[in-house]
Structure 1
Amino acid sequence: MRTRLAIKIHSVLERYFPERRVFLKSDSDTRFIRLRPGTQLFVFAGCSALVAWAIIATAILLMDSIGSGNFREQAKRDQSTYQARLSDLSAQRNGRAEEAAAAQERFNAALKQISVMQSELLASETHRRELETGIEVIQSTLRDTMKEREAARQKLAALEGGTGENGASTTQTAQSSAPIDILADALARTAQERDQVVIDAQDALLEAEELSQELALVRDQNDAIFRQLEEAMTVSVAPLDKMFRSAGMPTDRMLETVRRGYSGQGGPLMPLSFSTRGEDQSPDTLRANRLLNQMDRLNMYRIAAQKAPFANPVKNAFRFTSQFGFRRDPKTGGRRMHNGVDFAAGNGTPLYATADGVVTHAGWSSGYGRLVKIQHEFGIETRYAHMSKLRVKTGQRVSRGQRIGDMGASGRVTGVHLHYEVRVGGKAVNPMIFIKAANDVF
């Protein structure tokens, strides 16, 4: 069976690969090499495999080249899109900054107007009290005058009755006419004084009514000013309050910390008080004090915003390569917690502090590579890892926007990038909360 199979295979090979001889001739001898069908088949198979490998390798190189070109084009498009997004965010930030500046100017103008209106209100209140006191004095004088006039009338009637009843002589009538003339003159003067007092009282009442109308107008103006100020305060304070709450910071405790460490000139705004006798405050006073409290809160928010890391550590063009949370480890492939966000850019890209603080570590730290830790207010710490160069030292005080190092690939990494962490009370939180909150306000 094997011999027959071998003969059939050999006959098939002879059909496609007949035996050939290659003659090699020299000056003195002639030799030949016999190429059997099996040898020819082996050589043909080897050449076919070589050609196939060349074709496959060429196709792979072409596909890789095409894929690399597409990837570069996609990367350029992504970079252009991201730069356009950054430009939009920058324009929005500038617009909000201009709106905040305009709101601040409106607030300052309104505050000056409130001060003027309060002064006018105090002056009108003082004038009103003086008029009320004058009216009381006039009314008291008028009552006394009317009593005196009534008493004089009674005396005159008594004198006239006594004269008719007794039938006194002409001498007695002449003697009694003198007191009657005196009383008549006194009554005339009293009547004139009474009429003048009535006129003065009417004038005082008219003036009091005019003052009441002016006071009502002043109160309406004050109410309009208060409404504008309250709206301005709401527009100014609400975004800052939302920003801190979205960053997970306890606003009341944070503001109390800022207030304890307040060191600006003049100190915090004090509440208004127009009475030294312990009287209840007026509605306008209470309203003004609420506005002052909101102003103080706005001032505290602005101070806190300068002390918290509401900024971006990378100002050049970059892309996010890893977010906060659980992810597949790039080295081991296992599922691990990623305590920060990664910014990818060129080697040596400048890195900046996101808030004022003190450098607590500047050096090598295991998987972090070259690491900088900065301690900020309110128990917040920021970390900047995998640097190629450090530009600060431990114990150094830094400001927001100060350059602290260069982006690199030190430590446990797969490429050049910055690993940025934010920790509040020692616990890692998502840095994008601070970055997005800052973009929404500043």
Structure 2
Amino acid sequence: MRAEGRVRFLRVSPRQQKLATGLAICLAGWGLAATVTAVVSPVIISEQQTEINKRDQAYVSLLNEIDQYYDQYTNILGGLEDNQSMLQDILSGQAEGVNLADIQARLNRSEGDHAKVVVARDALENKLASFESSLRQIAEQNVTLETQVTSMKSVLDSTKAEREEVVKARETLLGQLTETQERLTREKLTKQKLQANLEDISEDVVIGDAERQALIEKRFSLEAEIAALETRQRGAETRQTQLEQIIINLQESLDDSRDMRAQLSRERDELKLQVVSLEETLSAYEQRQLDLVAKLTERTLSSIGDIEKAVAMTGVEVDKLLNRVNDAPEGELGMGGPFVPLVGPELDQDNSFQTALALLDLHLRRWEGLRTIATALPLTPPMDSYELNSNYGPRKDPKNGKRAQHYGIDLGAPTGTPVFAPAPGKVVKAGWFGNYGRYIEIDHGFGVTTRYAHLKRIEVKRGETIDFRQPIGAVGSSGRSTGPHLHYEIRIDGNPLNPDNFLEAGRHVFKG
């Protein structure tokens, strides 16, 4: 192509050539099909007309069934309105001569009519669904006819010999198509109306079901209220009977209480006499208790005096040892007895019994302390039999004849005579000790110790706990000695005391 001095080329590729050839073949085929359609279309149109007539008849029949269904619905709705009016009258108390059996019968009839309407409605819905299917088929056929008319129009335009026939056929087809479209439009409008009526009827049926359900529930509620009222009436009658019985019982109780009051008054007078008698008995008992406490106090003071006198004979300071006893750690001394609170002048001046009991407790505590001291002091001799060979104090030394201080006593006895512990204690020394020979030292507590010298043998060990009168050794003559004897010493806080005084005090204590 040349234009304005320029040459342009249009290239057709093999693919485009194939497409063009295929398009030409399709056009030829389409022309052939249009010719065949033009011949066959009158027959098809005739069949379509017959089918449309059948649809019209089915449509008229459907409208009649809808009218019947609507009449049935109107009758049912009227019955429901009558039932509702009647129930409202019953609820407001205006209806007379109507019972629950009549209401139940009407509700049952309403349920039967409702079931019939539901069946008819389902059948109508099925027919509507079938009618809609037929309408869709007609619409599809109309589309086919329009396609065929278009094809025929093209064929008629291209063929002058058949143009007049084609024009006539087209006009005929167009007329039929227009008529068919108008019918289709009318049928669609009718269908929409029927659908609207069907929806209204369905809504009315639903409303009728709801109202019927509400009436049934209201009936059940009324029956429950009636039952509750009957129950309350029976309960009221029962309570009335119970109240009457309670009144009778109260009257009887009142009569009994009057008799009981008189009886209690008599018993009260008797109890007053018993109280007076018990007070006199208690007073006598308290006096006996006071006398008993006084006697115990007297005996305790006598025992305290004896022990203090005996301990004083040893030369020991009694109060000093008592303080050590009171300060001893808990567990070293055996103590006990009932707790009696101290009652002094500042606590209770009028309670003579408590005062006497407190004083007795003080004396008993001192007596217990003195007993503890007496137990710790070596008041018994260390041998069953002996002779006093040398006293405590200054003496002539048996070896060199010079004057010397003797811090113990020499108890003569045959060799092998058993030596006993004069009091419980703990061995602090046991073995050879210079001039003392075989030697034992025992700690009896509270600063009291005893010493045993010139023994033949020792039967205890250092650290061993010794009981009262336990054998600890035997008489001998070891160390600086002139013959078999026991050198015996007693010391308080390391200071020597005369053992003979302890033995004399022991004779007084054990004698008492």
TM-score normalised by L of structure 1: 0.49
Q: Which has the higher contact order (CA 8 A, sep 6+)?
A: 1
From the CA coordinates, give the structure whose radius of gyration is larger: 2
